[in-house]
Structure 1
Amino acid sequence: MKTGLHVQRMPWLSLPIALAALAGCASQPSRPAGGTPPDFAIPAASLLPALNRVTWGASTSTYKEAQAVSFNRYLQQQLHPANARLPAAIDAQIRSMTITQRPMDQLVMELEQRRKQVDAIANDDDKKAAQQAYQDELNRLAREAAARSLLRDAYSSNQLQEQLTWFWMNHFNIHQGKHNLRAMVGDYEEHAIRPHALGKFRDLLRATVYHPAMLRYLDNEQNAAGHLNENYARELMELHTLGVNSGYTQNDVQELARILTGLGVNLGNQAPNVRAGLQGQYVRRGLFEFNPNRHDYGDKVFLGQPLKGRGLGEVDEALDRLCRSPATALYLSRKLAVYFTGNEPPQPLTRRMADTFLRADGDIAATLAVLFASAEFRQSLGRAFKDPVHYVVSAVRMAYDDKPILNANPMAGWLYRMGEPLYGRQTPDGYPLSSADWQSSGQMTTRFEIAKSIGSGSAGLFKSEGPQGQDHPAFPQLATPLYYDAFQKVIGPATRHALEQAVSPQEWNSFLLASPEFMFR
C-alpha cells in the first residue's frame, strides 16, 4: 500500500464527445472515559461532504434525515444502529435469494456431493457438461452474494454499518475463486462480518477464525500436528491483527500455527474416528470442525508468554493476546483512518484512536467516534478520491434514491472493469485503501462511460434476471433538492458551465456524475 501520499485533484483527461469538455473543465453514543458523548457537530456547509464520508454517498433522503436530526445525532445513530430499514422491493429481492433461504452448510454439502458425482462420470462429453453446470451454480451463488451486498450498500438505512462491512471484508479478505468459496462467501459476509462490523474486534476476529471460508482460503484445513501449514498463522498476525514489523518473530508464527492445528472444514456427513481419550474435545458446527486427532497438544510459547496445550481453548487465549496488543490497536486505527480520510493519517490521531481501542477493549464504534470527532477528519472532507465501490454505489444512490433498482449485476460488472470486484482480490492483503491508488486514466475513462450509462437510464439496473429478462429503463432525475440545496454549492465554474451547456436531461445527468466534484468524497 502506498503511504504518505496526499490526494491532488488530477488533471482531467480529454475524451470524445461532450464528456471530454466536462472532464477538461474541470442508539447511545460511545462515551470516552469522562462520560461525555463525542461531538460530531459540523458547519451546515460541511453536511454534504460529511455525509459522503460516513455513508456510501449522500442521497436526498439521507440529506433530509441528517438535516432534520442534526449530523451529530445522525452519526450517533449510525455508530449504534437499530435494525436496518430497506425498501420493500429491495428486501423482497434479498429474501428471494438462495443464499438467504438456504443455510450455507446445506448448500455446500449438496454441491460437494454433486462434485463427487461429476468426477465419477465416465463419458467425457457428459462429464464436461456436468462440470460446467457445477461451476455455473457456484457462480450463481457468488453473484447473489455480490448483489445482496450492493443492494444493501445502496439502500440500507445503516450506511456506516455497510461501509464497515465492506472494510472488514477487505481486511479479512478471501478470494471467491479458490476451491468452492463462491458458495461460502455470502455466509461469510452475512454471519462472520456484518453482525460484528461496529462491535468488539475480538468477536469479529473470532468469527473469521472459525468460519470455513477463511480456513479454506488460507489453507488451515491442511494444518496438522507434525505437518504444519503456517499460511493462516502468518496472515493472522501480519494482516489481521499486529501488522508487519510489529515485533513478532518466526517462532511466533510457528507457535500460532501449532495452536491452530485441528481447525478445519468437514464437507461430509461423517465425523472422524477420534482416538480414545479425546472424543469429548471434538467440535462440529456446520462445516467447521475441530479434529483433536490433528491438533498439537504440546505446550507453546506465544508472543513471549507460555500457553498450555489443551485443545481448542488455546485458540481463544491466543486471540485474546492478539486483540489486546498495542500493536493491533495502532495497526487497525491507522487502517480505519486511511479508509475514512483517504490518506495516511497524522500519528497523533492514530494514537488517540488506538488508546480508545485499548481502553474500550476493542470497541470499533468507540474507536471510530474518536476519528469522526477529530479536526483531522473534518479537514479531510471532500478531499478523498473515490475508489470504484464508492463511485459506483454513490452514483446509484444519487440517481435512484427513491426508486429501487431491480438488478445489481451491472454494478458488479462496473466494479470488475475498474479493478475492484467484490470478493475478487486474489491475495489476502485486500484492496488498497489510499485514494491515490485509484487515480488513473483508465479509471476515468470507465467512470465517464458509467456516468453516461446511468445518466441516460440505459444501465440495465431495471432489467429482470434471465435470458428472457425484460428491461424497463428508468430515467433518473438528478436535479433534486439534494443538488439544489447542497451539491450545486460545491461545484466549480467549469462544471457549472458544462451543465448549462447540456442539450438534454440525459446529458445533464451524465455531466453531473462525471464531474470532478463527484469523484471526491
Structure 2
Amino acid sequence: MFPLLPRLTARLNQLCQGVSRPIGHCLAHDSLNSNAAAACTQQRFLRGNTVISVRRLIYWAAALAWCAAWAAAPAAAAPPAIDPAALPALVDRLTWGFTPAEFERARKLGTQGYIDAQLSAPATPQLPRAIQGYIDRLTISQQSASAAFAKISEYRQLLRDMPDGPEKTAMRRRMQAIASTRAADTARRTTWRALYSSNQLHEQMTWFWMNHFNMYAPKGHVGVALADYEDRAVRPHALGRFHDLLAATVRSPSMLLYLDNHYNRAGRINENYARELMELHTLGVDGGYSQKDVQELARILTGLGVNYRSTPPKVPAELRSQVVQEGNFLFNPRFHDYGDKLFLQRKIAGTGLAEVDEAIDILARHPATARHISRKLAQFFVADRPPDDLVAAMAKTFQSSDGDIAATLRTLFASQPFIASLDAGKFKDPMHYVYSSLRLAYAEFPPVARVDTANQWLNRLGQPLYRRITPDGYPLTQSEWSGSGQLTSRFDWARRVIVAPGRFYQAAGQKPPVQLPPVPSLPEIYKRTQRYEALSPATRQAIESARTIQDANTYLLASPEFMRR
C-alpha cells in the first residue's frame, strides 16, 4: 500500500543494529525542557566504531511511524454510487414526474451527470414555444405588479369618495378582482412550468421555497405581487445561497402584506412576521429563541411595508435620506424604532434598514437554521423522518458553504439514505401526483393548453396552489395525504386523465383544438424504461388482467407504486 515502508523499516533496523551505548548520559525523558531536549538530540550513539546521532535515529523512526500510520489508516470511503437500475427512480425524485424523454436524457448523462445538470440548470425555465406563448398572454405577463398596485390605489381613492350603493359594490369587486386574477394566473404559470420546464429540479425547488415561505394569496392584496414574489425573491435563489433567498423574501411586498408587517410600527409593534421568520423560515420551533427575541426582531422590522404608488412617502426632512423604495417595497423611517436592540444575544444599534440586514445575517448563518433547513430538505427528498446523521451532514455542508443550497443538496444526493430511499419511494403529495400523471400520460401529446382543470383537481385533493391559509405551508409527510378519501379521489383523477384528455385542451364549452389520439399504453412505456419489474405482483396482475388499455392505464396511475416517487 505504501512502497517506501519496507525500505524505511530496513534502514531503521540497519541504523539500530549493534547500537551499544550513548556517549554521555543524556537520554530522552518526558521531563526534559525544550533546551534539554534539543541538547539531547545532539548526543551520539556508538555502533561499532560508527557514531550515530540521536537526531538521525529520531528522524528515521518518525518517518517510519508516519508511513506505518498512513498504511494502516483505512482509505477514505467513496460516496455510495447510485445503481444504474435506480435511474428511473432518480428521475422521478428530481422531477415533477418521470417521462420517457427525461429518462433518456438521464441515461445519456449518467446518474451523476444528470444530478450535476439539474443542480446547475439556469433559473429561467426552458419551455416549449407554445407554453411560453400561453404564459406571455397572462395578465401577470402583460401588467407589472407596480401597475396593478397603482390601479388599486386609484380604486381606493374613488371608493373613499363614493356613496354606498351598487356602483360602489361593483367597483370594490373590480378592485378585488385584480388580486384574484393575478393569483390565478400565477397558479396557471406554476403548473405549466412544472409540466414542461426542462429544469425540473429548479422547478421543484422553486415550489419548495414558495411553500416554505408560504403565503395565502386570497388575503387582502397578497395575490397582486405573488408572481413578482416568485420571479424576484424565490426563483433566482432557489439553488443559490439561503442568505440571499431570505433577504429577498423579507423585502417582498406580498410577504409583508400576508404577515401584517405593514402594520408594524414603532411603539405599536406587530409580532406576526417576526415570529414566523424565526419559527418557520429560519431557526425552527426549537431554535433556542425567546419571546423577547420575537419582540426585538419585530422592533427591527418596524417600518418595512408596501407603497402602492411610485411617489415617495411624506417624512420629516431629516429622515428623507433613509427612505428606501424598491418597486413596491418600502422602508419608511417615520415608522421605524431607532432604539438599540438585543437580538439572539447580539446587540444591534438602531440605525434603520441596516438593522434588518444585520438580523438576516444572524438568522441565515445560525446553526439552528442550518439544521432546520437541512431537515426540511431531507424530509422533502428522502423520508418523512430523515436520519439524524444525514441532517447533521447536510447542516455541516450548509454552514461550511455559507448556506449554499445546491451544495447542501449534493450532500443529500450522495448519501446512503437518499440512495436507499429510491427503492422505497417517497409518498406523493397531490401536486406531485397530479403533475406526474399528466407528464407521463400526455408525454406524446401536444402541450396541455388548459391547466385550470388540473388546478381545480388540486383544490379537490386538498392542495390548491397558494391557498394554504396558515404560514407553515403544505405538509410534506405521507400521513397528511394518504387517507381513504384522498386515495378515492386520486383514482377518480387517474380515470379522468386517461379517458378524457380533451378536457385539458379546451376552453370551457369549446371543443379541443386538435383531435387527440387515445393515451398510449403506459405499462408498455414502463417496460421500455425499466420500470415495469419494480411494480408489485398484485399491480402487474391487475394491469395484465385489464380488459382495455384504458383500464390498464388507469390501474397503473392509481397503483400504490405510482403514489410514490
* Aligned residue type for 2:476: L
> Match for residue 552 of structure 2?
508
Check if 1:397 corresponds to 2:443.
no
Counterpart of 2:196 (choices 138, 143, 155) is: 155
Counterpart of 2:533 (choices 489, 493, 509) is: 489
Check if 1:59 corresponds to 2:59.
no
Relative to structure 1, the CA distance from residue 40 to residue 93 in structure 2 (aligned partners, 3 Å threshold; closer, same or farther) is farther
Query: d(CA) in 2 for partners of 1:495 and 1:125?
Result: 59
Within-5 A mapping of 1:328-477: 328-381=369-422, 382-402=424-444, 403-458=446-501, 460-464=503-507, 470=512, 472=514, 474=516, 475-477=518-520
Relative to structure 1, the CA distance from residue 137 to residue 223 in structure 2 (aligned partners, 3 Å threshold; closer, same or farther) is closer
Counterpart of 2:144 (choices 99, 103, 106) is: 103
> Match for residue 30 of structure 1?
none
- Structure having greater relative contact order (Cα 8 Å, sep ≥ 6): 1
Check conservation: 1:138, 1:182, Cα contact below 8 A.
Answer: yes
Check conservation: 2:80, 2:416, Cα contact below 8 A.
Answer: no
Which entry has the higher C-alpha Rg, 1 or 2?
Answer: 2
Secondary structure in structure 2 of the residue aligned to 1:67:
helix
Check conservation: 1:354, 1:367, Cα contact below 8 A.
Answer: yes
Instruction: Give 1:271 shift.
Output: 2.2
Instruction: After superposition, give the CA deviation of every residue in 1:6-28 in whole Å (9 maximum; x if it has no partner).
Output: xxxxxxxxxxxxxxxxxxxxxxx
Check conservation: 2:223, 2:254, Cα contact below 8 A.
Answer: no
- Compare 504-513 and 352-361 and name the one that shifted more: 504-513
* Aligned residue type for 1:488: Y
Secondary structure in structure 1 of the residue aligned to 2:449:
coil
Query: d(CA) in 2 for partners of 1:269 and 1:40?
Result: 55
> Match for residue 143 of structure 1?
184
Size of the aligned set, in residue pairs, is 484
Instruction: Give 1:247 shift.
Output: 1.1
Instruction: Give 1:123 shift.
Output: 6.0
Instruction: After superposition, give the CA deviation of every residue in 1:93-150 in whole Å (9 maximum; x if it has no partner).
Output: 1122121232211122213323443554436233333333443443222111001011
Query: d(CA) in 2 for partners of 1:107 and 1:276?
Result: 30
> Match for residue 114 of structure 1?
155
Instruction: After superposition, give the CA deviation of every residue in 1:352-383 in whole Å (9 maximum; x if it has no partner).
Output: 00000000000000001111100001111243
Check conservation: 2:503, 2:512, Cα contact below 8 A.
Answer: no
Check conservation: 2:461, 2:486, Cα contact below 8 A.
Answer: yes
Relative to structure 1, the CA distance from residue 137 to residue 260 in structure 2 (aligned partners, 3 Å threshold; closer, same or farther) is closer
Query: d(CA) in 2 for partners of 1:372 and 1:435?
Result: 21
Within-5 A mapping of 1:42-441: 42-82=82-122, 83-118=124-159, 120-122=161-163, 124-381=165-422, 382-402=424-444, 403-441=446-484
Check conservation: 2:253, 2:328, Cα contact below 8 A.
Answer: yes
Instruction: Give 1:437 shift.
Output: 1.9
* Aligned residue type for 1:114: Y
Instruction: Give 1:279 shift.
Output: 1.0
Query: d(CA) in 2 for partners of 1:119 and 1:495?
Result: 63
Query: d(CA) in 2 for partners of 1:200 and 1:158?
Result: 18
TM-score of the pair, normalised by structure 1: 0.89
Check conservation: 2:319, 2:333, Cα contact below 8 A.
Answer: yes
Secondary structure in structure 1 of the residue aligned to 2:102:
helix
- Compare 253-262 and 125-134 and name the one that shifted more: 125-134
Instruction: Give 1:508 shift.
Output: 2.2
Check conservation: 1:263, 1:289, Cα contact below 8 A.
Answer: yes
Instruction: Give 1:41 shift.
Output: 3.8
Query: d(CA) in 1 for partners of 2:339 and 2:163?
Result: 47
Instruction: After superposition, give the CA deviation of every residue in 1:437-468 in whole Å (9 maximum; x if it has no partner).
Output: 2110111111001100101134621113x665
Check conservation: 1:230, 1:254, Cα contact below 8 A.
Answer: yes
Check conservation: 1:458, 1:473, Cα contact below 8 A.
Answer: no
* Aligned residue type for 1:80: S
- Compare 271-280 and 345-354 and name the one that shifted more: 271-280
Instruction: Give 1:308 shift.
Output: 1.0
Instruction: Give 1:346 shift.
Output: 0.7
Query: d(CA) in 2 for partners of 1:451 and 1:262?
Result: 49
